[in-house]
Amino acid sequence: MTSVLYDAPGPRAKRRNIVYTALFLALLALGIWWAIRVMADKGQLEWSLWKPFTEAEAWTTYLLPGLANTLKAAALAMVIALPLGALFGIARLSDHRWVRVPASIIVEFFRAIPVLLLMLFANEFYSRSTNISSDLRPLYAVVTGLVLYNASVLAEVVRAGILSLPKGQSEAAKAIGLRKGQTMTSVLLPQSVTAMLPALVSQLVVIVKDTALGGAVLAFAELLNARGTLAAYYANVIPSFIVVAVIFIVLNLILTTFASWLEGRLRRGKRSTGAVLAAPGGAEEPVAEPGLGKTDDGRGA
């Protein structure tokens, strides 16, 4: 691979790179050796701590129900946030001031506030003003927090998606006599959806990760919370964290891989206009700036 920053290596550079590789490898090996030593010292490598994960019980009693709750909350949040986000995204593009301005204020407000505050508020609100049973309340609170935050992020994605379409699209729609609503629903939205899909799938990663907040703060029985009960039973703090982290990584890697596969497909596909929105960082929060567009976020390379 040649790069902007260095030439294809000649004999001397090759030798130098081998030296650097060896040094870095030594450093890495030292680090790993140290980590293993510390774990062994603290007795974290004993088979009895890891054995539960080879048996069905740990999975069926703790991890799988936790994972199921994580997925349930994430799926619910996505399904509710998506139409809501689309609605607000379109509302922000409205010609009418009285629609555009309130929608913008709501979207900007909920984007500026940490998800955790929204979840805390929802939890307390449900416990005071509704009679949702206390078993279900954490799920409701988590989903509410996720929906409020992610709907406003998705609203921005939708808005950027629609704005990324060439102007000719709506002009052509106008020319054949479509009304504004018709232009939106039958010309602009269907096309922008293809541009937005990768960003939407990536937003799922953010939602999956944020469910863990509910587990830590609201006692919602998702994966991280299930890890706590599991570790209390088997007394295996470190192994349980490693297993849970691996589950999250695999789950999210599947989603990101799917998103970048989709992105590649859409870029090549003739159906789209060629405009594909960059996924919003795949982050807890760094949100795609509309119009910032195609920064290479490393997934394609």
Residues that bind another protein (CB under 8 A): 3-7, 9, 13, 17, 20-21, 24-25, 28, 38, 42, 44, 109, 112-117, 120-121, 124-125, 128, 205, 208-213, 215-217, 224, 231, 237-238, 241, 244-245, 248-249, 251-253, 256, 281-287, 289, 292, 295-298
Q: Which is nearer to another protein, 48 or 185 (CB)?
A: 48
Supply the DSSP string of the chain, one letter for each residue: ---SSSPSP-HHHHHHHHHHHHHHHHHHHHHHHHHHHHHHHTTTT-HHHHGGGGSHHHIIIIIHHHHHHHHHHHHHHHHHHHHHHHHHHHHHT-S-HHHHHHHHHHHHHHHHS-HHHHHHHHHHHHHHH----TTTHHHHHHHHHHHHHHHHHHHHHHHHHHHTS-HHHHHHHHHTT--HHHIIIIIIHHHHHHHHHHHHHHHHHHHHHHHHHHHHHS---SHHHHHHHHHHHH--HHHHHHHHHHHHHHHHHHHHHHHHHHHHHHHH-SSS-S--PPP-TTSSS-PPPTTT-----SS--
Report in angstroms how near the CB of residue 169 gets to another protein at its nearest: 28
User: Measured from the CB of residue 267, what is the shortest distance to another protein in angstroms?
Assistant: 17
CB of 172 to another protein, least distance (A): 33
Among residues 64 and 116, whose Cβ is nearest to another protein?
Answer: 116
Whose Cβ is closer to another protein: residue 93's or residue 237's? 237
Between 165 and 208, CB nearer to another protein:
208
**Minimum Å distance from CB 139 to another protein?**
17
